[in-house]
Amino acid sequence: MEKAIVVGATSGIGRALATLLADRNYLVGVTGRRKNLLDELKSEKPDHFVVSDFDLTDTFATMEKLEELTKTLGQLDLLILSSGTGEINEGLDFAIEKNTVDLNVTGFTEVADWAINYFQKQKQGHFAAITSVGGIRGSRQSPAYNASKAYQINYLEGLRQKCSRSGLPVYITDIRPGFVDTKMAKGAGKFWVAKVDKAADQILSAIEKRKPVVYVTRRWWLIAAILRILPGWLYKQL
């Protein structure tokens, strides 16, 4: 039985991925702040879930909790980081921006570093993280969110380069969703909104194929390509 951890499994994509992994006979460590939702998930398949509730922004507890959870699982083959936050913040409320940075940058980095160090010591493993198409360009509506996702995309690329140079079978998958029907999909003008189950299916398929980057749903690669080539003078008017 393979072992996985899903960080951020209380709802949305993380919960759907945890359920899919359990259906494929993984033993899954599920984490999040809301223990009642994790316990609810465990009740569906008690033999396939191990619960560990903690707040990713608590940097003193995160690594300790991950170590404990991994020892309970017995080993770790896959870690999926599906925890993040983002708010529309055109008024530049600093509290909102700080909360985004604390989770999407500091919390993300701590989990990513822990996972890569663990997998390199183990000499194999797979780290997958959910970033966003939004990380390709900045946003007047949610400056910290888009900037934090750009940070994640570049950080994962650096880790992929590091793992490649090590020669070890340690894999990195950068998952870049567009709009998925979760609470994270905010603002007007949403289009190509994917159902959570469809998004989770495509994500897990990409992980199994060890793809370095995947857009969810797949046609969002087109939006990503357009965003990259738009000249700055035009983009700033959007």
For residue range 40-96, list pLDDT tens digits in order: 999 999 999 999 999 998 888 899 999 999 999 999 999 999 998 989 999 999 999
pLDDT exceeds 60 at position 189: no
Q: Are 175 and 130 in contact (CB under 8 A)?
A: yes
pLDDT exceeds 70 at position 184: no
Paired tokens of 118: 């663990």
Give phi and psi for 88, each to the nearest 5.
-65, 125
Q: Are 181 and 194 in contact (CB under 8 A)?
A: yes
Number of other CB atoms surrounding residue 37 within 10 Å: 17
Look at strands 170-177 and 3-7 and give their pairing.
Answer: unpaired
Q: Nearest Cα to 14, choosing from 41, 36, 35, 48?
A: 41
Q: Are 97 and 89 in contact (CB under 8 A)?
A: yes
Return d(Cα 82, Cα 108) in angstroms, integer: 10
pLDDT exceeds 90 at position 227: yes
Return d(Cα 39, Cα 55) in angstroms, integer: 16
Q: Which of 49-63, 178-192, 195-209 has the highest mean pLDDT?
A: 195-209
Rg (CA), the chain: 17
What is the fold, at CATH topology level, of the domain defined by 3-235? Rossmann fold (3.40.50)
- Helices and strands of the chain, counted as H and E runs: 9, 7
Q: Nearest Cα to 122, choosing from 81, 74, 156?
A: 74
Kindly tell me the sign of the dihedral angle through the C-alpha atoms of 210, 201, 38, 181: positive
DSSP 52-117: EE--TT-HHHHHHHHHHHHHHHSS-SEEEE--------TT--HHHHHHHHIIIIIIHHHHHHHHHH
Question: Per-residue confidence at 181, pLDDT binned at 50, 70, 90?
Answer: confident
Question: Per-residue confidence at 112, pLDDT binned at 50, 70, 90?
Answer: very high
Q: Nearest Cα to 32, choosing from 2, 47, 11?
A: 11
Looking at per-residue pLDDT, the higher value among 234 and 171 belongs to 171
Return d(Cα 205, Cα 212) in angstroms, integer: 12
Tell me the per-residue pLDDT of 118-176, one tens digit each, with 9 for 90 and over.
999 999 999 999 999 999 999 999 999 999 999 999 999 999 999 999 999 999 999 99
Report the C-alpha dihedral over residues 47, 53, 57, 59, rounded to 10 degrees: -90
Question: Per-residue confidence at 183, pLDDT binned at 50, 70, 90?
Answer: low
